[in-house]
């Protein structure tokens, strides 16, 4: 559940994916805020208050807004050759599973997947050379009150969506399917898309190198490589 280890694994896989591969990585962080690559983290969340209550701050390689992670949220990363990205679209994969659940989930064209007016999944993408990583969140049983308490998106973003608060904009899947759990979603994703376990992980020294990179305060607070 260490966010720096999770980001390190994603990045190490990004650098060793082969032409025939498409990696679908499922992972979780607990009590973590992850900022987008170019954000001023102090304007996106209440840093000191979050750290005082035991939270962890991190920064990812992709752009977009800051997100709150806990164990009621499931993160996914899809890593593949850029030429194959249209065959591995996160919006189609996630919306397909939602249709299996009987939900009319839609991609809104702004990196969000919604059910009705509520966002259930936010997404971002980054590429380097011939490799692309699309990754996102899926709210299942997340503590949305904590999300609202600690995230501070610019007011213009809320106004563009005609809402007054973070909480008014998002919803958990459990609001539509009360019995659903993170474990249920993981199992359904694996079965629906025939996901297979990786035969081997990247080398340990590579994982450690990236873990140090993502855990470095210069990166977390400044986004400096």
pLDDT for the residue 82: 75
Query: Average pLDDT in the 123-128 region?
Result: 91
What number is the average pLDDT over the span 168-178? 93
Strands 22-27 and 73-81, sheet pairing:
antiparallel
Average pLDDT of the segment spanning 28-36 = 97
* Displacement of CA 215 from its chain's centroid (Å): 17
Closest to 88 in 3D by CA, of 167, 215, 200, 195: 195
Kindly state the tokens that stand for 7: 């980001």
* Residue 159 pLDDT level (bands cut at 50, 70, 90): very low
Kindly state the DSSP code that residue 94 receives in the 8-state scheme. H
Every domain of the chain and the residues it spans: 3-218
Is the pLDDT higher at 200 or at 94?
Answer: 94
In which band, very low, low, confident or very high, does the pLDDT at 162 lie, cut at 50, 70 and 90? very low
| Residue range 56-91, pLDDT digits in tens | 999 999 998 899 999 999 999 999 887 776 666 878
- Number of helices (H) and strands (E), helices first, in the chain? 10, 9
DSSP of 147-173, one letter per residue?
Answer: HHHHB---HHHHHHTT-SSHHHHB--G
Question: Could you please report the per-residue DSSP string of 128-151?
Answer: ETTEEEEEEEEESS--HHHHHHHB
pLDDT in tens, 184-217: 999 999 999 888 888 888 999 999 999 999 999 9
Across-strand partners of 128? Answer: 131
Model pLDDT, residue 158: 43
| E strand or H helix that includes residue 35 | strand 32-35
State how far the Cα of 35 lies from the Cα of 129, in Å rounded to an integer. 23
Query: Tokens standing for 45?
Result: 């969340």
d(CA 85, CA 70): 28
Which option is the CATH number for 3-218: 3.10.20.30, 3.30.930.10, 3.40.50.300, 1.20.1250.20?
3.30.930.10
Q: How confident is residue 138, by pLDDT bands cut at 50, 70 and 90?
A: very high
- 64 closest CA partner among 134, 149, 167: 134
Instruction: For CA atoms 32, 33, 35, 40, give the dihedral sign.
Output: negative
């Amino acid at each position: 559940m260490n966010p720096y280890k999770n980001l390190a694994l994603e990045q190490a896989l990004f650098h060793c994916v082969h032409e025939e591969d498409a990696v679908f990585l499922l992972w979780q962080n607990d009590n973590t805020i992850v900022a987008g690559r170019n954000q001023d983290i102090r304007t996106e969340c209440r840093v000191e208050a979050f750290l005082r209550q035991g939270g962890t701050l991190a920064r990812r390689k992709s752009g977009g807004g800051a997100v709150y992670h806990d164990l009621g949220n499931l993160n996914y990363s899809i890593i593949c050759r850029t030429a194959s990205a249209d065959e591995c679209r996160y919006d189609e994969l996630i919306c397909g599973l939602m249709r299996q659940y009987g939900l009319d989930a839609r991609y809104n064209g702004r990196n969000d997947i919604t059910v009705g007016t509520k966002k259930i999944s936010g997404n971002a993408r980054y590429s380097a050379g011939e490799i692309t990583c699309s990754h996102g969140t899926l709210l299942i049983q997340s503590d949305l009150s904590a999300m609202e308490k600690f995230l501070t998106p610019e007011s213009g973003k809320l106004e563009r969506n005609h809402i007054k608060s973070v909480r008014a904009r998002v919803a958990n899947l459990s609001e539509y399917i009360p019995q659903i759990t993170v474990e249920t979603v993981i199992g359904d994703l694996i079965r629906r898309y025939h996901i297979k376990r990786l035969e081997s992980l990247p080398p340990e020294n590579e994982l450690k190198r990236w873990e140090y990179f993502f855990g470095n305060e210069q990166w977390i607070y400044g986004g400096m490589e």
